[in-house]
Amino acid sequence: MTSSRSRRGVERLVGAVLAASLIGSAVAHLGNPYYYLSSVYNYKLVGGRVGLWVAAVSPGVHVAVGVCLLAGWRVRGSYLAAFALFAAYLAVQWSALHRGLDISCGCFGAGDGLPVGPRTLAMAGACAAAALAGLVLTRRPSTG
């Protein structure tokens, strides 16, 4: 029973950390939506219409996933969604770096100023790995 309780505690901690990252990012983007839109366009991966949709929808998705992780609602799906988000951020940052773009990651709004590079790749990768770990921790142990 203690093992199951400690496993649940670790899972809740992972969920809280991911939720804080997602909600913090969303708050920054909602506070300055035009900067976030320009950040989306700076990656040069999508056109105007798709970029506008990404910038309009993703902060809401961040909040929804973060709230679900904090509240313990649909946790497995929330970890899967968090993994998909962070894996996508890892991929677009790697793409920008590979194409030689000298841009800010735009992760936490205008104030972060972090250029896309090893540090931002490590942050996105660590969050993706944490989401996978949270997903694994939500599995019921086999009784056999």
Residue 77 has pLDDT above 90, yes or no: yes
Question: Which residues face 39 on adjacent strands?
Answer: none
The domain in which residue 62 lies consists of 2-137
Among candidate residues 134, 123, 143, the one with its CA nearest the CA of residue 21:
123
SS3 of residue 45 by DSSP: coil
5-54 pLDDT, tens digit each: 888 999 999 999 999 999 999 999 999 999 999 999 999 999 999 999 99
113-138 pLDDT, tens digit each: 789 999 999 999 999 999 999 999 99
Q: Which residue has the higher pLDDT, 2 or 78?
A: 78
Cα 17 from Cα 133, distance rounded (Å): 12
pTM attached to this predicted model: 0.91
> Does any domain span residue 65?
yes
**Tally of domains in the chain:** 1
Query: Interior CA angle at 50 toward 45 and 52, to 5°?
Result: 110
> Does any domain span residue 59?
yes
Cα 1 from Cα 15, distance rounded (Å): 21
> Does any domain span residue 116?
yes
> Does any domain span residue 142?
no
